[in-house]
């Protein structure tokens, strides 16, 4: 079943071995959160499970490779999609994973308003589990110093899409966001293993329990507000009371507004 968040399409060009492995599937292209690459849902093959394929060129291919490595590492700690196939060239990458069971948290919140508080509690519980992964065992760094450097490069290269900024920064330039962030530095870090893009479309739920997460290419050690800010912002699309519920359920009732705003602005630049 397709929705307004994807569209049916033909299979893209694939390496020979990968094309053979994926023969017989119908294809639908995801319209949400592609970040410069292409995401496809593969479905409709009799007796075969649904799959997802990510494809990208250049820096997007590098990001897909990063995600593949992180998925394999995270699988030892939290539920993530199993990596089934990976192929790459010096400038291109393809990643195929199994689909996670359930529906996205966005779909669950949209479909069942009466259950929203319980859904938010489940999201908070999963984030606590994610943040409990021992920092000493994580080989990936995603702290705000690293991401500020990447953000500065994106601004300099004209890659930031200012017309997609949140309403709070509507009409701002990327440079204005950058300058506003500088006013909030330095930050006193509270480092944990973060997901990096902890949004409603990247979390899956079934039976009131989070069954896993996707889009882990930014996972690594960073301040906990990297994840808190993104989901807090997503929940504002539904109701402010859900934002409050999430922070309390996670264990952060006294919100650090400086960190919250810093990470919301940092996310604008990616």
CA dist 218 and 67 (Å) reads: 7
Of 121, 143, 163, 197, the active-site residue reads: 197
Burial of 21-48, coded b for 16+ CB within 10 Å and e otherwise, reads: bbeebebbbbeeeeeebbbbbbbeeeee
Interior angle at CA 66, CA 62 and CA 67, nearest 5: 120
CA dist 219 and 236 (Å) reads: 23
Whether 166 is a known active-site residue: answer no
Token representation of residue 194: 């973060």
Nearest to 107 by CA among 33, 204, 180, 10: 204
Neighbours of 19 (CB within 10 A): 12
Residues annotated as part of the active site? 197
């Amino acid at each position: 079943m397709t929705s307004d968040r994807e569209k049916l399409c033909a299979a893209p060009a694939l390496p020979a071995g990968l094309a053979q492995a994926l023969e017989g599937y119908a294809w639908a292209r995801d319209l949400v959160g592609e970040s410069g690459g292409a995401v496809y849902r593969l479905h409709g093959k009799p007796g075969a499970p649904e799959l997802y394929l990510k494809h990208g060129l250049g820096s997007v291919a590098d990001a897909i490779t990063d995600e593949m490595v992180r998925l394999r590492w995270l699988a030892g700690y939290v539920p993530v999609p199993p990596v089934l196939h990976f192929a790459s060239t010096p400038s291109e990458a393809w990643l195929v994973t199994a689909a996670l069971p359930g529906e996205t948290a966005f779909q669950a919140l949209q479909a069942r308003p009466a259950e929203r508080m319980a859904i938010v509690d489940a999201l908070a519980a999963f984030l606590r589990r994610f943040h409990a992964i021992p920092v000493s065992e994580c080989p990936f760094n995603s702290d705000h110093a690293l991401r500020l450097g990447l953000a500065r490069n994106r601004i300099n290269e004209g890659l930031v899409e200012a017309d997609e900024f949140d309403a709070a920064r509507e009409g701002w330039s990327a440079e204005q966001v950058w300058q506003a962030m500088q006013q909030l530095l330095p930050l006193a870090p509270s480092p944990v293993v973060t997901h990096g893009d902890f949004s409603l479309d990247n979390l899956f739920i079934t039976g009131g329990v989070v069954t896993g997460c996707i889009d882990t290419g930014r996972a690594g050690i960073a301040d906990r507000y990297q994840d808190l800010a993104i989901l807090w912002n997503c929940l504002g699309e539904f109701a402010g009371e859900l934002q409050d519920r999430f922070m309390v359920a996670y264990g952060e009732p006294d919100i650090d507004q400086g960190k919250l705003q810093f990470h919301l602005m940092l996310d604008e630049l990616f």
